[in-house]
Amino acid sequence: MSKKRQSCDVPDATIHRLPLYLEKLKLLQAIGVEDVSSRQLAESLDIKASQLRHDFHYFGGFSRPGRPYQVDKLVPALEKIIGIAEPVPTAIVGAGHLGQALANYQNLELQGFPLRGIFDTNPKLIGLEIRGQPIRDMDELEKVITQEKIKIAILTVPAGHAQAVVDRLVDAGIVGIFNFAPTDLKVPEGVAVRNERLAVGIMSLSFKVKCILQAQGETVEEM
């Protein structure tokens, strides 16, 4: 694989599709599928085969033209590209209902993101354990991040506290933030942020539902 193809200069849309490819390939691997064509893989994800091949081209293509992909080779190749071939220690900051639900999500660790710290300011939560991981006071944030070599933080704190927490996370060495707080964050160059706006997502879904109902001659008010 050339240095050019190892570059991180890849479109966001391609980056967002890579986990979808990996997830589908792991399902195929689990049922014993050895080879899959670009057309078969693309159709299973409702995209064009040309788009899939174009995405893979950034990383070398993975197979010769006209030949299927070998599932057992493509899975570890994508894991390495995405960055989960080796576990990426992760922390959750904010142990409210959402934070606790995410901490209980076992697939987080199965997908390569072992939980190494949970933090909150609520004294009623400090010391409680979620799947063997204690909820710690925010005073321990920097120490645990350093000791556990944590690089990704999942942020589930109120919007008004988010930026101050992010500043601490960045200073402690966090380079990736999965942000559930409904606010925009300011981070320095070299720190990646992915915003997950639940309200925006469900409103987008609401728009699509409205369009479907209108096409069927119904309205939300009639339901």
Token pair listed for 14: 């391609």
Structure confidence at residue 220 (pLDDT):
58
Structure confidence at residue 7 (pLDDT):
53
With b for 16 or more beta-carbon neighbours within 10 A and e for fewer, the 118-150 pattern comes to bbbeeeebbeeebeebebbebeebeebbeeeeb
Q: What is the pLDDT along the chain (223 residues), one digit of tens a residue?
A: 344 444 578 898 999 999 999 999 999 999 999 999 999 999 999 999 999 999 999 998 787 777 899 999 999 999 999 988 899 999 999 999 999 999 999 889 888 899 999 999 999 999 999 999 999 999 999 999 999 999 999 999 999 999 999 999 999 999 999 999 999 999 999 999 999 988 888 888 898 888 888 888 876 565 5
Structure confidence at residue 221 (pLDDT):
60
For the entire predicted model, the pTM comes to 0.82
Structure confidence at residue 97 (pLDDT):
96
Q: How far is CA 143 from CA 138, 146, 192, in A?
A: 10, 5, 22
Structure confidence at residue 181 (pLDDT):
94
DSSP 15-65: HHHHHHHHHHHHHHHHTT--EE-HHHHHHHTTS-HHHHHHHHHTTT-SS-T
Token pair listed for 73: 């080779």
